[in-house]
């Protein structure tokens, strides 16, 4: 008797829940994103909610370095969100473990997202084994920031920034002034992903790459970095400087030229009291191929999501708003069809928009972090002269080969 | 009333007291510990951390870890880091404790203020030391240069032969207050009349320190050293903030290495191996600590 009552009660509850769902109650999407200065996800999910009353967004913001780790752990314990932001070289890690929804069929029916509209770099990183597993929200890349006032003071032409490694070396050398505590150049050789991110373009313009580390081009690139450090044109502290740190030195005029990305522009605009400009990343020699690094994030929908349609609508909304990318968030568009109206810092925009076309995707490989680590170790080993560039890179290549073989 | 008393004396009541404590320990200490040990013998992928059933690798992971080219450096760095941190934390902390024992005006206040450094989160301490240690515009280099002690800048965190020492310096600074407070408590427990009697017998200051202070402080020192080893082996934030184990692994220590393998390159089994080995060391030290405490209570 008691059991029957219990079952009846349960039946009522189930019925009530079903009716509840049948009415136009909003669907709630769990979205995980990075806590960024630009507040990209906060702003756009808020706007999306305002336009889509049938969908609520439950947004969780996570510290920069922990988003992927948290999402992987959540997926492993069946508590993954519907949508998560993923750093582009890590999409393959998620996709290869069968955690993300294949977005191909959704895109095929979409009026907003068209696969052929994406630039090749962002598309490569969002794709794993020919299937599209994430939607890249934008792109960023790195270029050469320089202090034009210092160029003038040193008798250099600020309208002719260095184009090749030789010119970069000569100019940086001229701008270096130990008495004034000033270095000519700064790159980031920190033992994190940022170090790999900054080094690979130098290797790529010389003919090397992450899977061709023992290639003479990669060796020349590392030897070039080494020469700059040995001659104190670059501070020894670049071994511990992330990109934000080296740009702080650039703003404080302790560094005349620095390599970094468009995310720095708002702060630079606000704080730098000098004539700063941006130039294309120098290539090895005249005629060498241009190369740059491709950064930025994508959003993937987890396979476990109960609301894939709604989740995809959110991603469509992100793409539809790409015209706002640059002026509001300092991100370049990832689709060719978008035009940025009245871009802020138009000269810098032109440089970055051109540079991003030469941006190489990192990977894709589900083992990217294990490939990136030996590269960081090789860079630091050579720069601190624990081994010469050739030996350090050969050792890194051995590690990368092992990883790629697995 | 009588019922309450009977209840309080009953085995059931004892059980009620014991079960939550043991349950807590099992859930929040024993389980993670065992889970970690189990992972060190398995082939673990970041994506199956949700299960306990995974392919067994036996001691293969242990062999892998020790075969890594950086294993030797990390081991030596860890020993150096722990020993040097303890030696300086303890000697400076002890000296300060003796100093504040002199009971000059404001001594208690000043001693309390020393704790300010210790209560700061290690990550904040790391950020501050990062500025102090900066090679080109750091406070420390500025001071040393003004005193004409150095010619050019010293790259405290990016010179591979110095980076580990910089972390040790920051860690010593962070640990001194804790050592000082614990040792002060120990010193306060030594009755004054023992010293007075010794003075009457003609024992000098050094003699009194050697034959009274040191032997009576032995249990406290043992406890402080054990806690120091445990805290030092837990010190992760300073490495993360100052050098990330670099340059080129020159300042990497076991706890940071374990984290790097687990959460940077997702080689979780290898990370678990290092964590398990460290746990063994900490357990041994904890045993010594418990024994030291027992002596202290008896004394």
**Percentage of chain B exceeding pLDDT 70:** 97
Q: Which of residues 114-153 of A touch B (CB under 8 A)?
A: none
Q: Which two tokens stand for residue A191?
A: 């033992």
User: Residue written as tokens 């951390």?
Assistant: B49
Q: What is the pTM of this model?
A: 0.85
B245 shares contact with chain A (CB less than 8 Å): yes
Cβ–Cβ gap B242/A380 under 8 Å: no
- Chain B hits for A76, Cβ within 8 Å: 46-50
Subunit contact B242:A240, Cβ cutoff 8 A: yes
Pairing state between β A276-279 and A183-186: unpaired
Residue B43 pLDDT grade (very low, low, confident, very high; cuts 50, 70, 90) = confident
Residue extents of the structural domains in chain A: 4-139+295-360, 143-293+367-405
Per-residue pLDDT at B55 exceeds 50: yes
* φ, ψ of residue A163 in degrees (nearest 5): -110, -25
Asked whether A193 and A379 are in contact (CB, 8 A), the reply is: no
Q: Is residue B60 part of a domain?
A: no
Which residues on neighbouring strands pair with residue A34, listed in sequence order? A62
Q: How far does the CA of residue B242 sit from the closest CA of chain A (Å)?
A: 8
DSSP character for A379?
Answer: H
Q: Least CB-CB distance to A240: which of B137, B158, B266?
A: B158
Chain A neighbors of B68, CB-CB under 8 A: none
* Closest Cβ–Cβ partner in B47, B153, B247 for A75: B47
Per-residue pLDDT of chain A (406 residues; tens, 9 = 90+): 444 444 444 444 444 444 444 446 889 999 999 988 889 999 999 999 999 999 999 999 998 778 888 898 888 888 999 999 999 889 998 999 889 999 999 999 999 999 999 988 899 999 999 999 999 999 999 999 999 999 999 999 999 999 999 999 999 999 999 988 899 999 999 998 999 999 999 999 999 999 999 999 999 999 999 999 999 999 999 999 999 999 999 999 999 999 999 988 988 998 999 999 999 999 999 999 999 999 999 999 999 999 999 999 999 999 999 999 999 888 999 998 888 888 999 999 999 999 998 999 898 888 898 999 999 999 999 999 999 999 999 999 999 998 888 6
Position B127 in a domain: yes
B58: its two tokens = 């036996």
Question: Cβ–Cβ of A69/B263 closer than 8 Å?
Answer: yes
Cβ separation of A254 and B50 shorter than 8 Å? no
Cβ(A102)–Cβ(A108) below 8 Å: no
pLDDT per residue as tens digits for the range A338-368 = 888 889 999 999 999 999 989 998 988 888 9
R_g of chain B computed on alpha carbons: 24
pLDDT (mean) for B119-126: 83
Q: Say if the Cβ atoms of B247 and A78 lie within 8 Å.
A: no
Alpha helical stretches, state H, A97-215: 104-108, 120-126, 148-153, 165-175, 193-205
Q: What average pLDDT score do residues B146-150 get?
A: 89
Residues 6+ apart with CB under 8 A from A280: A143, A144, A163, A290, A351, A354, A355
Which CATH number among 3.40.190.10, 3.40.50.620, 3.40.640.10, 3.90.550.10 corresponds to the domain A143-293+367-405? 3.40.190.10
Instruction: Determine, yes or no, domain membership for B119.
Output: yes
What pLDDT score was predicted for residue A11? 47
Judging contacts by C-beta atoms under 8 Å, the chain A residues touching residue B244 are: 190-192, 240
In a domain, B197, yes or no: yes
Q: What confidence score (pLDDT) does residue A24 get?
A: 65
CB-CB neighbors (< 8 A) of B47 in chain A: 72, 75-76, 97, 99
In a domain, B245, yes or no: yes
Q: Tell me how close the Cα of B134 comes to any Cα of chain A, in angstroms.
A: 7
Q: How many CA atoms lie within 13 A of B6 on its CB side?
A: 3
The pLDDT assigned to A249 comes to 94
Using a CB-CB cut-off of 8 Å, the residues of chain B touching A254 are 136-137
Domain hosting B245: range is 71-251
Contacts by A45-54, CB closer than 8 A, 24 or more apart:
A45/A314, A47/A317, A47/A321, A48/A314, A48/A317, A51/A317, A52/A313, A52/A317, A53/A26, A54/A24, A54/A26, A54/A27, A54/A310
Question: What is the rounded CA–CA span in Å between residue B68 and residue A370?
Answer: 14
- Choose the closest CB to A73 out of B45, B49, B134: B49
* Gap between the Cα atoms of A63 and A321, Å rounded: 24
Is residue B206 in a domain? yes
Q: Looking at residue A349, what is its pLDDT?
A: 93
Neighbours of B282 (CB within 10 A): 16
Residue B188's domain is classified under what CATH number? 1.10.3720.10
Q: How many CA atoms lie within 13 A of B146 on its CB side?
A: 7
Of A312, A366, A405, A402, residue with least CA distance to A128:
A366
Residue B216 belongs to a domain? yes
In a domain? residue B5: no
By the CB < 8 Å criterion, does A72 face chain B? yes
Domain A4-139+295-360 has CATH 3.40.50.300: no
The number of angstroms, rounded, from the C-alpha of B13 to the middle of its chain's C-alpha atoms is: 38
The string of pLDDT tens digits covering residues A150-183 is 999 999 999 999 999 999 999 999 999 998 889 9
Q: Is A190 on the interface with B (CB under 8 A)?
A: yes
In order of A184, A267, B102, B131, the CA distances from A277 in angstroms are 15, 14, 62, 28
Residue of B48, B245, B267 with shortest CB distance to A191: B245
Does the beta carbon of B136 lie under 8 angstroms from any beta carbon of chain A?
Answer: yes
pLDDT at res. B53: 79
Q: Cα dist. B190→B104, B209, B214 in Å?
A: 19, 12, 11
**Chain B residues lying within 8 Å of A99, measured CB to CB:** 47
**Which of A331, A341, A355 has the alpha carbon at shortest distance from A266?**
A331
User: Which residues make Cβ contacts (< 8 Å) with residue A316, sequence separation at least 6?
Assistant: A110, A112, A113
Contact flag B155-A236 (C-beta cutoff 8 Å): yes
| CA–CA gap between residue A72 and residue A381 (Å, rounded) | 31
Q: How far is B136 from chain A (nearest CA, A)?
A: 7
Per-window interface: B 29-88 vs A, CB < 8 A: 45-50, 69
Domains identified in chain B, total number: 1
| Closest by CA position to A238, among listed A186, A169, A281, A201 | A186
pLDDT of residue A22: 46
pLDDT score at A19: 45
pLDDT at residue number A373: 92
Asked if residue B235 lies in contact with residue B255, where contact means CB atoms within 8 angstroms, the answer is yes
State CA A38 to chain mean position distance.
14
């Amino acid at each position: 008797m008691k059991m029957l009552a219990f079952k009846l009660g349960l039946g009522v509850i189930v019925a009530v829940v079903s009716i509840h769902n049948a009415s136009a109650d909003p669907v709630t999407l769990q979205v995980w994103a990075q806590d960024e200065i630009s507040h990209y996800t906060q702003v756009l999910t808020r706007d999306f909610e305002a336009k889509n009353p049938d969908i609520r967004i439950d947004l969780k913001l996570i510290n920069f370095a922990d988003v992927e780790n948290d999402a992987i752990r959540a997926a492993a314990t069946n508590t993954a969100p519907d949508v998560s932001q993923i750093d582009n070289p890590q999409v393959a890690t998620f996709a290869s473990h069968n955690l993300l929804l294949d977005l191909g069929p959704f895109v095929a029916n979409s009026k907003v997202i068209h696969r052929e509209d994406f630039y090749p770099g962002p598309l490569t990183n969002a794709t794993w084994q020919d299937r599209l597993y994430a939607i890249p929200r934008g792109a960023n890349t790195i270029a050469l920031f320089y202090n034009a006032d210092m160029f003038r003071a040193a008798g250099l032409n600020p309208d002719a920034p260095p184009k090749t490694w030789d010119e970069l070396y000569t100019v940086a050398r001229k701008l270096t002034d130990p008495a004034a505590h000033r270095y000519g150049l700064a790159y980031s050789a920190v033992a994190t992903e940022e170090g790999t991110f900054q080094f690979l373009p130098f290797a790529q313009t010389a003919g090397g790459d992450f899977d061709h580390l023992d290639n003479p081009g990669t060796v020349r690139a590392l030897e070039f970095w080494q020469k700059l450090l040995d001659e104190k044109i670059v501070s020894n502290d670049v071994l511990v400087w992330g990109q934000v740190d080296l740009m702080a030195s650039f703003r404080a005029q302790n560094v005349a030229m620095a390599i970094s990305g468009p995310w720095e522009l708002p702060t630079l605009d606000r704080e730098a009291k000098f004539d700063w400009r941006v130039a294309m990343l120098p290539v090895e020699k005249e005629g060498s191929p241009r190369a740059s690094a491709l950064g930025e994030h994508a959003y993937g929908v987890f396979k476990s999501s109960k609301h894939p349609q709604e989740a995809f609508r959110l991603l469509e909304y992100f793409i539809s708003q790409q015209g706002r990318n640059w002026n509001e968030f300092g991100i370049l568009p990832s689709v060719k069809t978008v035009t940025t109206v009245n871009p802020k810092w138009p000269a810098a925009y032109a440089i970055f928009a051109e540079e991003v076309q030469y941006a190489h995707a990192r990977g894709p490989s589900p083992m990217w972090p294990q490939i990136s680590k030996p590269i960081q170790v090789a860079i630091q080993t050579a720069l601190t002269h624990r081994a010469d560039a050739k030996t350090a890179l050969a050792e890194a290549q051995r590690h990368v080969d092992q990883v790629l073989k697995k | 009333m009588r019922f309450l008393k009977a209840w309080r004396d009953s085995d059931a009541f004892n059980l009620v007291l014991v079960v939550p404590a043991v349950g807590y320990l099992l859930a929040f200490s024993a389980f993670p510990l065992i889970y970690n040990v189990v992972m060190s013998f398995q082939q673990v992928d970041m994506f199956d951390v949700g299960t306990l059933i995974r392919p067994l690798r036996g001691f293969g992971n242990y062999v892998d870890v020790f075969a890594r080219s950086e294993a030797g450096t990390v081991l030596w760095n860890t020993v150096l880091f722990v020993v040097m941190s303890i030696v300086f934390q303890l000697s400076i902390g002890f000296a300060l404790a003796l100093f504040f024992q002199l009971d000059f005006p404001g001594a208690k206040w000043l001693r309390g203020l020393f704790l300010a450094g210790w209560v700061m989160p290690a990550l904040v301490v790391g950020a501050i030391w990062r500025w102090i240690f900066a090679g080109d515009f750091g406070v420390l280099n500025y001071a040393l240069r003004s005193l004409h002690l150095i010619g050019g800048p010293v790259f405290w965190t990016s010179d591979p032969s110095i980076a580990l020492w910089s972390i040790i310096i920051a860690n010593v600074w962070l640990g001194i207050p804790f050592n000082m407070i614990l040792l002060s408590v120990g010193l306060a427990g030594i009755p004054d009349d023992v010293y007075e009697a010794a003075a009457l017998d003609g024992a000098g200051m050094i003699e009194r320190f050697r034959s009274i202070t040191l032997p009576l402080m032995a249990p406290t020192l043992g406890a402080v050293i054990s806690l120091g080893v445990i805290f030092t082996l837990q010190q992760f934030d300073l490495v993360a903030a100052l050098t990330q184990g670099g340059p080129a692994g020159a300042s990497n220590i076991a706890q940071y290495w374990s984290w790097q393998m687990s959460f940077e390159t997702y080689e979780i089994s290898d990370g678990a191996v290092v964590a398990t080995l460290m746990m063994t060391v900490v357990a041994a030290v904890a045993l010594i600590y418990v024994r030291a405490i027992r002596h202290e209570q008896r004394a």
